[in-house]
Amino acid sequence: MIEPGVIDFLKKSTDVELWLVGQVRITSALRKFGERVKPVPMHAWQHLPDLTRQVDVNLAPLTLDLDFNETKSAIKWLEAALVQVPTIASPSQPFRTVIRHGHNGMLADTADDWRNYLELLFSDEKLRHKIGEQARLDALENFNAEKQGRRYLDILDQTLTTEAKSVTAVNVSRAIPDEKPKPHPLEPYEMTIYVSRPIAKVPTVALRSDAPLEFQIPAINGLNLRLDLLFATHGQAHAEALVEVTDSSDGTILASAESFVSEAAWSAFDLQLSRRAKALLVGVKTMPGSEGLSNHIALWADLSGSYKQMGKNYPCAPCMKLWVQEEGGVTSSLAAYAAEPINFAQKTIARWRFAHYIWTVRGFRSLLKWFADTVRRIAWRLGTTLQAIE
C-alpha cells in the first residue's frame, strides 16, 4: 500500500532520497530511481538514534490484515520521536494508541495518504519540526521509566492471586507516592526549580475557556520560565490547555503558552515574561473547542494551598513544577507561596471529589479498590500507633 504513494512522491520531489533500513528489498519499481533509493544495513541499537536523526521523515508501514502486526509495539514511532523526527505510520492498533494524527505524527491508510502526507511534511518545514517536537514531548512524558515502572507494577499486581501476595502488592504500590520524586524526564537542567509539587491527590474543578483557574507563584529572578502542570482529562484521550501569566497588581498579561494535555501526564508550558513583576498570577483554561459534557479537563492537585475560579476559592494547590532561567544566580524567596491550612470539611469535600473522579473515569471496581486501599492504610497506621503506645 505504501509503495505507489512513495513512488508518486519521488517522481515529483527529485531532491528527496529514500533510505531502506535493514532487511528491506528494493523492488523493480524503486530501482528506477537509481542512487536516490539507498539500502542501509542494520545498525546496532546504540547507533540507531544517530542514523534516525539524519532523516527528515520516518516511515513505518505495516500490513493491516495480519493479527501479528496488531500486537506489535509502536517502537518505530518512539525511536524517531526521541530525536524529534516525525513519523508517518500505518494505522495499526499500536500506532493509533500513541499517534495523534497531525499533532505528533501521521497515520496513512491508503497510497494517496502516504503521498499527500509526505508532500505536506516536506513542503512545510515548520510543521515538520513542530510535529517532531511534539512527538518527543509525548514520548518522554508518557513512556518515561517511572510510568513504565508503574505499568509493570500493575501487571505484577494483577498476576498475584493469593491473599498474602495481594497484601504485599498493595504495600509496594502504596509506597510509591511516598518515595522521593524521580527527576522529570523533560527537566531543563540549565534552569533552577523554584516550586515542586509532584504528588497529586485530587482533581480540581473542571477548567473552562471563559474563566481561568488561577493561583499565585512566587516572584522570580528571571524572565524565562517553564511551568509543568499535571492534568486530569476525565477519560478524554486528547485536549488542549492555555496558560497565561499576569501581573497580579494590574492584570497585565506577561506571557502565554498552550499545549496538548493527556491523562496523568505532565504538560510543559514554556513562557517568556515581557517584564518583571513583584507578584505573578497563573491562569489555566481550556482552549475553545476543548470543552463539552464529556470533556471535563482539570488539574491534579494536593491538599494544601488554594486556587480560585469564577471568584470562588477552593482548597488544594495544583501540582506543578516551576523552573526559572535565573539572572545573577540569586534565588528569590518562596515565602509568598506558603501553604494555607484547610479544615476537615474542605479535606472531606476534596476527597469526595477524588472518589467521584475515580468512579466516573475508572469505574466502580477501581473505586472499591481505592476504598479498600484506604481502609488498609488507615488500619496499618492505627496498628503502628498502637504498637508505639504499647
pLDDT of 72 strictly over 70: yes
What is the per-residue pLDDT for 353? 73
Share of the chain above pLDDT 90, in %: 23
The CA-atom distances, in angstroms, between 114 and each of 1, 117, 124 are 9, 5, 16
Mean pLDDT of 6-31: 89
Please report, as a single letter, which amino acid is at residue 87. Answer: T
pLDDT at res. 315: 77
Name the band, by pLDDT with cuts 50, 70 and 90, for residue 369.
confident
- φ/ψ of 124, rounded to 5, equals -125, 90
Largest CA distance in the chain: 86
Structure confidence at residue 362 (pLDDT) = 60
pLDDT digits over 220-229, tens only? 878 888 898 9
Residue pointed to by grid coordinates 520516518: 58
Which one is predicted more confidently, 329 or 144? 144
Q: What is the pLDDT of residues 30-56, one digit of tens each?
A: 989 998 998 888 777 777 888 898 899
> Predicted confidence band at 256 (pLDDT cuts at 50, 70, 90)?
very high
* Amino acid sitting at position 65: D
Domain boundaries, the chain: 2-142, 150-178, 192-342
Of 241, 244, 221, which is closest to residue 232 (Cα–Cα)?
A: 241
Q: What is the CATH number of domain 192-342?
A: 2.60.120
Q: Which CATH superfamily is domain 2-142 in?
A: Glycogen Phosphorylase B; (3.40.50.2000)
Query: Quick one: pLDDT at residue 43?
Result: 75
Q: What is the CA radius of gyration of the chain?
A: 25
pLDDT mean over 101-108: 92
337 has pLDDT over 60: no
Place of cell 476537615: 344
Residue 257, all three cell numbers:
503558552
The pLDDT score that the predictor gives to residue 311 is 81
Percent of residues, the chain, with pLDDT higher than 70: 79
Residue 11: per-residue pLDDT:
92
pTM exceeds 0.75 for this model: no
Looking up cell 486528547 gives: 238
